[in-house]
Amino acid sequence: MSVAPDRLAAVTEEFPVLRRTVDGRPIVYLDSAATSQTPQVVIDAIVDYYTNHRGSVHRGVYDLITEATELYEGARERIAAWLNWEAEETIFTANATMSLNLVAQAWGHANLGPGDLVVLTEMEHHSNVVPWQQVCAQRGAEIAYIAVTDTGELDPGSVGALLDREPKVVAFTHVSNVLGTINPAAELARQAHAAGAVVVVDGTQAVPQIPVDLAVIDADFYAWTGHKVYGPTGVGVLHGRRALLEEMPPFHSGGHMISQVFTASSTWSELPGKFEAGTAPIAEAIGLGAAVDFVTGIGIDAIRAHEFALTAELLERLTDIDGVTVHGGVDPAARGALVSFGIEGAHPHDIGEILGRDGVCVRTGHHCAQPLMRRFGWGSTTRASFGVHNGPADIDRLIEGIHTVQRVLDL
């Protein structure tokens, strides 16, 4: 099913920033892969906390704290249930980057040593590369990369060859933020587990746009961030396997994550508090819970169908324009709701600037994926990505803008 036209129009109206105009024309927001816009219901949930329930969680028994704690933990429960995981194994962090750093430093530092192998992929976001580089440098472990094919998929031969080396960790993105490639997360996790590896998945691009069932994927750690799922900035999520989380040392230390503090030693709180040191991102978690309610109210299957249709249309129309190159595979069924492209003779930053003059918002740059850029010989790309509020008229504006770029730059 897809989002019906009247429902789509209603959804679009729920995003206050989309009422803005540039030179009298509505904003066309095609950058949800970087940061999604925020619906009013999420804003209202955050304002309600600050207005009516402001208090620290887990730190008292008076009404404000009880109410705040119920809102905070209620959000955790709904978020965990949405992805079919346990609330106690669902940790709030600052963002997906923090979630991945937590795994690399807390689990990796305790378990990696000289001669151990960490396997990543050439399509990883820097947040799933640099933390592993850091811990491997500290512990004397090695990193190797699964190769990406010319069509933007993980090379099966490279996967097999690296798994034959019995890596300690296999970490990969569920959906590429540059190519849009949807990786077979459950199958990769199965193969990696068979090789004896711990599996870490960056689900940042997947969670907002495709159905994700963590019990089916069966990764050991799965990370994502709130601000790409119509939620606020400042809150991320790490879902982890209980046995591993209980064995891991804390990542941050201080208030809330302790059980007992003595002058010479301390003991830790039960999960998930063990990994939530300090005052929690209370308003942010409550807002993320509201964002998950917003998504479930529409239906992730409906969102996927709607954005799939838009992606398919954009791919078809881009391939019809002389001088435009689409990066990655052109099968919309195998990619998420984003398309990276180039215009012959135009630098992506010029493309973005000219499109922006007309209110068309796209991302330009290396997208925090420089190893992938080097693999393909690209300095940067232009990326258009969809949210539930987009429609065919937004594609019309983008195509119109691309022709304007070619005209302005005399291409």
| Residue whose C-alpha is closest to residue 116's, from 169, 190, 159, 172 | 169
Could you list the beta-strand ranges (E) of 125-186: 142-146, 169-173
Tokens of 5: 């036209």
- Which residues are bridge partners to 327 per DSSP? 340
Tokens of 214: 């963590």
Long-range contacts of 214-222 (CB under 8 A, 24+ apart): 214/83, 214/84, 214/85, 214/239, 215/84, 215/85, 216/84, 216/186, 217/185, 217/186, 217/189, 218/186, 218/189, 218/190, 218/193, 219/185, 219/189, 220/244, 221/99, 221/103, 221/107, 222/83, 222/85
| Residue whose C-alpha is closest to residue 100's, from 224, 269, 212 | 224
235 vs 229: CA distance, rounded Å: 11
Q: What is the DSSP string of 21-82?
A: EETTEE-EE-BTTT-----HHHHHHHHHHHHH--S-TTS--SHHHHHHHHHHHHHHHHHHHH
89 vs 352: CA distance, rounded Å: 41
Catalytic one of 368, 369, 384, 388: 368
368 is annotated as an active-site residue: yes
Active site residues: 368
